[in-house]
C-alpha cells in the first residue's frame, strides 16, 4: 500500500491530502463542541450551516498557504510553520463569521478549542504520514536502511537542520553528526543528532567511515565558505554543498538542493556590488549586438544584457548549435532579440545588420582563443581575431555605432603565442582607428585572464579527466594563472566599457594568481579521491606533467606598461598606453590578408612578429 501511495502522481497525492484535511477540519469542529459541552455533539437546525462553512473557509486558506505544495516525506519546520499560520487564520475567520452570523450563540471557548484540535490533527497527521511513508523500520522497507552511507553535515543552523531531516529519510544517506564551531551548540543535539567541533573531523571520518560531507551554510560569506572548503580538502571525502542563499528557490532546504562543489567555490572572491550607472550605461533602452553570442563570454554577456533593459539584443554567432541554444534560453525572458547566423569575416553582413537594427553598442566577443589550436592554425587565428575585429570595427564606424567594446586577454601582453599576438594586434587596430579615423564610435578594450568553466579553461578538462579516472594533466609544476568567474568578468566588462573615452585599454583586477597543480590537487580531493604520488602510491588519481606547449608562459601579465591608473571601480584599472598607433595600418593588414588567403603560415607569423613589437614566440618545452 505504501508503494502504491508513493507511485501516485503528484496531483492525486494532493487530492488525497485535501480530502484528508476536509475530514480533519470537520472532526476538529465536532471535537471542539463535544469537549465544550462534555458530551458527543452534532449540529442541529441552522447551526449546520456553521459546520458547512468550516471546510469552505479552510481549504482556500490552506491552498493559499501552500500546504499542498510540500512533499510530505521532506516536511520540516518551515512547512509546519505554514500549517500553523493557515490553521490560525482559518480558525479566526470561522470564529468571526460564527459570531456575526446570528445563527446561534457560539461559545468563545469553542473557537479556541477548534483551533487547538485542528492544529493538532492536521500537523500531527502530516508528521505521522511522513513517518509512515519514509521510515525504514521493520515492517516497512527496513532492509535498505542498513546499506545507507554515513554523512556529516557541516553547519547546525536552520539549513543544516532541514537538510538533516531531508537526508535522514533518504534511501542513500544517514546523517550521523553535525559539525559546527558555535560554542553554544557544542556537544548539544539538534534534531536528535550530536554537534561536533571541526577539530574532531579526522576522528569522526575514521570512526563513522564517512565518505561524504554536506556543507549546509548557504548564508555564509565567500571567505568563510572558502576557509571551510580548504580545510575539508585535506580529507579523502566527497564534499557537496547547498548553493548560496540567493540561488535557493525557496526558504525550505531539501536534499535535491545539494550540488557538487564547484572549483569556483574555492576561487571566487567576495563579490563587490556593481555600479548600476556604469552597468546600464551602454545597454538600457539601447540596441545591443554581441558577436560570438553563443560562446562562454558572449552567452553570459547576453544573459546580463537581457536583465538590464536593452531595447533589443542582436545575437551574432557563426555556430548554428550555439545560436539555437541561446535562442531557447532567451525565449524564456521578455527580451526582444534577433538571431543572426554569420561570421565576423563577412563585413557586408555586419554592416547590414548594424544599419538595419540601428545598433548602438557592440560587445565583440567572437574570437579563437584556444592557444595550442591557434598556434597550429595561425592563418585561421589571424583571420578571425584580427581581420574579423577590423571588419566589426569598420562596420560599427559605417553604421555610426556609439560604443564598441573588445573582449581582450592577458595573453595579449608581451605575447609568446599566435593567439596572444592576434589579440594584441586587434587592440592596436582599434586604437589606431580610434585616433586616426573620423568616427564618433568609442572603441574600448577590456583585458582579463582565465574565466572559470569557459570553453578554453582547464577546469572542465580537469573535471572530465577526474571522472574518467585520470591522469590529470598539467603542463608544468610551476605554472600559474589568474582566474575569475564568468559572471564577475562579464559585469566588469560592462562597467569598463561605459568608462571608455576612445582607444582605452582597461584591465581587470584578477585577484591572486592560482598555481595550476594546486588547483588540480584540490579538485581531486574535493571529489572524494586522493592524489597518487610518491608519498601515496595507492592514491586514486595521478597528476601528470606534460611540458609547456608552444607559446605557453609560466605566468601571464595584464599590463603592457608599468603603470596603470585607477577608475571609479576598484577592480577596474585603465592602462596608461593611450596614443599607441600603427603607421601604414591598411597596407600591413592587406599583406596579412594576402598571406592568410594563401595559407602562408610562416608569412602570417612573420607579419604578426613585425606588427606586434613585443611578440616573442616560445617553442614547446618537454616535461621535466
The ranges assigned to domains in the chain are 2-134, 148-261, 282-450+485-509+557-611
pLDDT score of 74: 55
pLDDT score of 607: 92
Task: For residue 447, give the DSSP letter.
Answer: E
pTM (two decimals): 0.69
Query: Is the distance from CB of 316 to CB of 340 less than 8 angstroms?
Result: yes
pLDDT score of 144: 43
Query: Could you read off the pLDDT of 304-337 as tens digits, one per residue?
Result: 999 999 999 999 999 999 999 999 999 988 899 9
Q: CB neighbours (10 Å) of residue 164?
A: 26
Collapsing DSSP to helix, strand or coil, 552 comes out as coil
Collapsing DSSP to helix, strand or coil, 78 comes out as helix
pLDDT-derived band of residue 3, with 50, 70 and 90 as boundaries?
low
Q: Residue 116 pLDDT > 70, yes or no?
A: yes
Fold exhibited by the domain 148-261: Rossmann fold (3.40.50)
pLDDT score of 244: 65
Fold exhibited by the domain 282-450+485-509+557-611: Rossmann fold (3.40.50)
For the purposes of burial, counting CB atoms within 10 Å of the CB of 468, is it exposed (0-12), middle (13-18) or buried (19 or more)?
Answer: exposed
**Catalytic annotation, pick one of 136, 286, 369, 411:** 411
pLDDT score of 141: 43
Share of the chain above pLDDT 90, in %: 32
Query: Could you read off the pLDDT of 341-365 as tens digits, one per residue?
Result: 999 999 999 999 999 999 999 999 9
Structure-block grid coordinates of residue 155: 553547519
Query: Is the distance from CB of 513 to CB of 482 less than 8 angstroms?
Result: yes
For the purposes of burial, counting CB atoms within 10 Å of the CB of 149, is it exposed (0-12), middle (13-18) or buried (19 or more)?
Answer: middle
User: How many whole angstroms separate alpha carbon 5 and alpha carbon 107?
Assistant: 40
Mean pLDDT of 573-579: 69
246-to-49, 163, 167, 218 alpha-carbon distances in Å: 47, 17, 22, 8
User: How many whole angstroms separate alpha carbon 592 and alpha carbon 570?
Assistant: 39
Q: Which range is most confident: 471-480, 526-535, 612-621?
A: 471-480
Collapsing DSSP to helix, strand or coil, 618 comes out as coil
pLDDT score of 64: 84
User: How many whole angstroms separate alpha carbon 141 and alpha carbon 144?
Assistant: 6
411 is catalytic: yes
User: How many whole angstroms separate alpha carbon 498 and alpha carbon 492?
Assistant: 10
pLDDT score of 255: 64
Average per-residue pLDDT for the chain: 83
pLDDT-derived band of residue 127, with 50, 70 and 90 as boundaries?
confident
Same fold yes or no, 148-261 and 282-450+485-509+557-611: yes
- Dihedrals phi, psi of 505, to nearest 5 degrees: -120, 120
Q: Residue 139 pLDDT > 80, yes or no?
A: no
Ranges 45-59, 135-149, 219-233, 270-284: which has the least confidence? 135-149
Collapsing DSSP to helix, strand or coil, 443 comes out as strand
User: How many whole angstroms separate alpha carbon 59 and alpha carbon 76?
Assistant: 21
For the purposes of burial, counting CB atoms within 10 Å of the CB of 414, is it exposed (0-12), middle (13-18) or buried (19 or more)?
Answer: middle
Query: Is the distance from CB of 526 to CB of 495 less than 8 angstroms?
Result: no
For the purposes of burial, counting CB atoms within 10 Å of the CB of 595, is it exposed (0-12), middle (13-18) or buried (19 or more)?
Answer: buried
Query: Could you read off the pLDDT of 387-433 as tens digits, one per residue?
Result: 999 999 999 999 999 999 999 988 888 888 999 999 999 999 998 88
Ranges 140-144, 376-380, 450-454: which has the least confidence? 140-144
Q: Who wins on pLDDT, 270 or 54?
A: 54
pLDDT score of 325: 95
Peptide bond into 471 cis (omega under 30): yes
Query: Could you read off the pLDDT of 544-555 as tens digits, one per residue?
Result: 998 887 767 777
Collapsing DSSP to helix, strand or coil, 202 comes out as helix
Q: CB neighbours (10 Å) of residue 325?
A: 14
Amino acid at each position: 500500500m505504501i508503494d502504491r501511495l508513493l507511485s501516485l502522481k503528484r496531483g492525486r497525492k494532493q487530492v488525497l491530502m485535501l480530502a484528508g484535511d476536509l475530514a480533519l477540519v470537520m472532526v476538529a469542529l465536532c471535537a471542539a463542541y463535544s469537549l465544550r459541552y462534555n458530551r458527543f455533539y452534532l449540529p442541529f437546525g441552522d447551526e449546520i450551516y456553521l459546520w458547512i462553512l468550516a471546510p469552505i473557509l479552510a481549504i482556500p486558506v490552506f491552498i493559499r498557504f501552500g500546504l499542498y505544495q510540500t512533499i510530505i516525506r521532506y516536511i520540516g519546520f518551515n512547512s509546519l510553520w505554514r500549517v500553523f499560520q493557515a490553521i490560525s487564520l482559518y480558525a479566526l475567520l470561522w470564529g468571526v463569521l460564527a459570531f456575526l452570523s446570528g445563527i446561534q450563540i457560539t461559545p468563545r471557548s469553542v473557537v479556541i478549542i477548534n483551533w487547538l484540535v485542528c492544529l493538532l490533527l492536521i500537523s500531527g497527521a502530516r508528521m505521522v504520514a511522513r513517518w509512515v511513508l519514509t521510515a525504514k523500520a521493520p515492517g516497512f522497507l527496513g532492509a535498505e536502511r542498513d546499506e545507507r552511507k554515513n554523512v556529516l553535515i557541516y553547519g547546525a543552523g536552520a539549513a543544516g537542520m532541514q537538510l538533516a531531516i531531508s537526508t535522514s529519510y533518504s534511501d542513500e544517506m544517514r546523517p550521523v553528526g553535525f559539525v559546527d564551531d558555535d560554542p553554544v551548540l557544542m556537544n548539544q543535539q539538534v534534531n536528535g543528532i550530536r554537534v561536533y567541533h571541526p577539530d574532531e573531523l579526522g576522528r569522526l571520518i575514521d570512526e563513522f567511515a564517512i565518505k561524504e560531507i554536506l556543507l549546509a551554510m548557504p548564508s555564509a560569506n565567500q571567505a568563510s565558505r572558502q576557509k571551510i572548503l580548504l580545510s575539508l580538502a585535506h580529507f579523502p571525502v566527497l564534499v557537496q554543498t547547498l548553493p548560496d542563499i540567493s540561488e535557493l528557490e525557496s526558504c525550505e532546504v531539501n536534499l535535491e538542493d545539494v550540488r557538487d562543489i564547484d572549483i569556483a567555490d574555492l576561487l571566487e572572491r567576495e563579490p563587490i556590488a556593481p555600479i548600476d550607472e556604469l552597468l546600464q550605461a551602454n545597454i538600457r533602452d539601447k540596441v545591443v549586438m554581441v558577436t560570438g553570442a553563443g560562446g562562454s563570454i558572449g552567452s553570459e554577456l547576453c544573459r546580463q544584457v537581457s536583465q538590464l533593459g536593452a531595447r533589443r539584443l542582436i545575437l551574432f554567432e557563426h555556430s548554428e548549435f550555439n545560436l539555437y541554444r541561446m535562442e531557447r534560453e532567451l525565449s524564456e525572458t521578455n527580451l526582444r532579440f534577433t538571431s543572426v547566423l554569420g561570421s565576423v569575416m563577412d563585413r557586408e553582413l555586419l554592416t547590414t545588420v548594424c544599419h538595419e537594427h540601428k545598433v548602438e553598442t557592440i560587445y565583440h566577443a567572437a574570437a579563437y582563443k584556444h592557444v595550442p589550436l591557434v598556434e597550429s592554425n595561425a592563418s585561421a587565428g589571424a583571420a578571425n581575431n584580427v581581420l574579423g575585429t577590423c571588419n566589426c570595427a569598420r562596420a560599427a564606424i559605417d553604421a555610426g555605432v556609439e560604443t564598441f567594446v573588445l573582449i581582450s586577454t592577458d595573453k595579449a601582453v608581451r605575447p609568446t603565442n599566435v593567439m596572444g599576438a592576434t589579440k594584441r594586434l586587434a587592440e592596436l587596430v582599434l586604437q589606431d582607428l580610434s585616433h586616426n579615423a573620423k568616427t564618433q564610435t568609442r572603441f574600448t578594450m577590456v583585458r582579463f585572464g582565465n574565466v572559470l568553466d569557459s570553453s578554453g579553461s582547464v577546469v572542465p578538462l580537469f573535471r572530465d579527466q577526474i571522472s574518467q579516472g585520470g591522469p590529470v594533466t598539467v603542463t608544468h609544476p610551476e605554472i600559474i594563472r589568474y582566474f575569475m568567474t564568468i559572471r564577475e568578468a562579464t559585469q566588469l566588462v560592462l562597467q569598463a566599457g561605459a568608462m571608455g573615452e576612445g582607444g582605452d585599454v582597461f584591465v581587470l583586477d584578477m585577484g591572486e594568481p592560482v598555481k595550476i597543480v594546486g588547483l588540480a590537487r584540490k579538485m581531486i580531493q574535493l571529489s572524494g579521491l586522493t592524489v597518487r604520488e610518491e608519498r601515496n602510491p595507492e592514491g586514486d588519481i595521478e597528476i601528470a606533467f606534460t611540458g609547456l606547449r608552444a607559446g605557453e608562459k609560466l605566468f601571464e601579465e595584464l599590463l603592457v606598461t608599468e603603470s596603470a591608473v585607477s577608475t571609479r571601480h576598484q577592480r577596474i584599472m585603465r592602462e596608461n598606453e593611450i596614443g599607441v598607433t600603427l603607421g601604414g595600418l591598411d597596407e600591413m593588414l592587406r599583406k596579412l590578408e594576402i598571406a592568410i588567403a594563401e595559407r602562408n603560415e610562416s608569412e602570417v607569423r612573420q607579419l604578426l612578429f613585425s606588427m606586434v613589437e613585443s611578440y616573442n614566440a616560445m617553442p614547446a618545452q618537454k616535461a621535466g
